[in-house]
Amino acid sequence: MSVKLYLAGPDVFLPDAREIGRHKRQMCREAGFEGLFPLDNDDALANDPAAIFATNCAMMRQADLGVFNLTPFRGPGADGGTAFEQGYLFARGKPVFGYTADARPYCQRVPPISTASGPRRDADGLLIEDFGLFDNLMLARAIAESGGTLSAMASADGRTDPAAFDAFAACLDAVAAFLRHRAL
Amino acid sequence: MSVKLYLAGPDVFLPDAREIGRHKRQMCREAGFEGLFPLDNDDALANDPAAIFATNCAMMRQADLGVFNLTPFRGPGADGGTAFEQGYLFARGKPVFGYTADARPYCQRVPPISTASGPRRDADGLLIEDFGLFDNLMLARAIAESGGTLSAMASADGRTDPAAFDAFAACLDAVAAFLRHRAL
């Protein structure tokens, strides 16, 4: 039985979502894993959010661990649905691994306003979390606490690839290393 | 023993986070609940993300249910840390309630580009989830599946209040109704 990886991320919203899902599942197979890719865009479920939700939760319960595309989505942080799923899997005691095509720490993703003193804030006065982590501390710490790792890697061509294939490949290597170590 | 509500949200990043936390805990007390407010900005923990993470998770495990401020944060969707916590509490079988000062469905929060046919997409080509839900379906469906409700309410003065006090008050009423119903 292959180890099952739940492949979460905003990939389902990308123009070529189906092809991305196929490619990532193929990369999983080549690494000896089975990739479970959410079915947001499966025709049979496409118009039924309750069915998509139930299917995604069932896949998460089946999975041995989670691999999360945490590349920023419509803002400086990870997609909310992906963050929800990370919390879900973490709460169920599964290791969670992250990857992102944006290698900057969160505090460099949000432009600060200049202030004489005090913590960094954005133009709306909102605090810019500044722990040197890539995103909100709950997401970052869950990865570390669960035994997972974050693979943060800008794309080789310097453009941000929202599917983050380079970082995904690195993340699969990290999962393989984790499993080898655990098996020892 | 009061019912314990975990009060999640990006409130901890607002300029007056401490005062908001005090006010929301006071509103909980007046409704007969105990509000547990994350300690992101507690001085003793302020520089230690691992300690903040552990404290937040311990508070979530203590809580009887979760009340989530899902008002958009730095983009059209909920704060990622808040979404993570929603997934965490949902996975532990706790009812999750949401509230937001932005009463629009998600598909109205993101400007679409004009296309002749096919699903609505934004200027980056990303699919705009269009189920008439207020945010990503995982967040919306978890509320419904857990027995919770969403309280979506623009502020009375027409401006978006990131602390969403009006919607929070409505949400506490919904929690009280839920508990009365469950006790029958």
- Express each pLDDT in B134-159 by its tens digit: 999 999 999 999 999 999 998 777 77
Check pLDDT > 80 for residue A155. Answer: no
ipTM > 0.90, yes or no: yes
User: Confidence band (pLDDT; 50, 70, 90) for A158?
Assistant: confident
What is residue B182's predicted lDDT score, i.e. its pLDDT? 85
Residue A181: exposure state from Cβ atoms within 10 A (0-12, 13-18, ≥19): exposed
Instruction: Determine which of A41-45, A86-90, B4-8, B166-170 has the lowest per-residue pLDDT on average.
Output: A41-45
> For chain B, where are the alpha helices, taking DSSP H only?
17-30, 49-62, 80-91, 137-145, 165-183
Say how far apart CA B93 and CA B88 lie, in whole Å.
9
The DSSP annotation for chain A comes to: -PEEEEEESGGGGSTTHHHHHHHHHHHHHHTTEEEE---TT-TTTTT-HHHHHHHHHHHHHH-SEEEEE----SSSS--HHHHHHHHHHHHTT--EEEEES--S-GGGTSPPPP-SSSS-B-TTS-B---SS-SS-HHHHHHHHHHT--EEE---TTSS--TT-HHHHHHHHHHHHHHHHHHH-
Candidate from B50, B135, B162 with C-beta closest to A80? B135
Q: Supply the pLDDT for residue B44.
A: 61
* pLDDT tier, A132 (very low <50, low <70, confident <90, very high otherwise): very high
Query: CB–CB of A97/A175 below 8 Å?
Result: yes
| pLDDT score recorded for residue B40 | 52
pLDDT at A47 over 90: no
Q: Is A161 on the interface with B (CB under 8 A)?
A: no
Q: Which of A97-101, B106-110, B179-183 has the lowest mean pLDDT?
A: B179-183
The residue assigned the tokens 């913590």 is A119
Q: What's the pLDDT band for A157 if we cut at 50, 70, 90?
A: confident
What pLDDT band is residue A183 in, cutting at 50, 70 and 90? confident
Chain A CB contacts of B138 under 8 Å are: 53, 56, 80-81, 84-85
Residue A154: per-residue pLDDT? 86
Closest among B50, B58, B135, B41 to A145, alpha carbons compared: B50
**If DSSP codes are grouped into helix, strand and coil, which group holds residue B68?**
strand
Nearest-CA distance from A2 to chain B in Å?
A: 24
> CB distance B127–A79 less than 8 Å?
no
Phi–psi pair at A121, nearest 5 degrees: -130, 155
Q: Which of B56, B92, B110 sits opposite A91 (nearest CB)?
A: B92
In sequence order, the 6+-apart residues with CB closer than 8 A to the CB of A174 are: A97, A148, A149, A151
Nearest 5°: CA angle at B149, between B144 and B154?
130
Give the three-state DSSP class for B108.
helix
Lowest mean pLDDT among A133-142, A153-162, B28-37: A153-162
How does pLDDT run across A56-94, given as a tens digit for each residue?
A: 999 999 999 999 999 999 999 999 999 999 999 999 999
Q: What is the mean pLDDT of residues A90-113?
A: 96
- % of chain A at pLDDT higher than 70: 95
Q: What are phi and psi of B23, to 5 degrees?
A: -65, -45
Give the minimum alpha-carbon distance from B21 to chain A in angstroms, rounded to a whole number.
15
Q: What is the pLDDT of residues B10-51, one digit of tens each?
A: 999 999 999 999 999 999 999 999 999 986 555 666 689 999
What is the rounded CA–CA span in Å between residue A76 and residue A43?
Answer: 31
Chain B contact set for A12 (CB, 8 A)? 127
- With b for 16 or more beta-carbon neighbours within 10 A and e for fewer, the A124-147 pattern comes to eebbbbebebbbbbbbbbbbbebe
DSSP state of B11: G
If you average pLDDT over residues A152-169, what whole number do you get? 88
Q: Which of B18, B136, B159 to mutate to test the interface with A (most CBs of A within 10 A)?
A: B136
pLDDT at B131: 93
pLDDT in tens, A8-42: 999 999 999 999 999 999 999 999 999 999 865 55
Q: Is the minimum CB–CB distance between B11 and chain A shorter than 8 Å?
A: no
Average predicted confidence (pLDDT) for chain A: 93
A63 touches B: beta carbon within 8 Å: no
Surface-to-core class of residue B43, CB atoms within 10 Å of its CB (0-12 exposed, 13-18 middle, 19+ buried): exposed
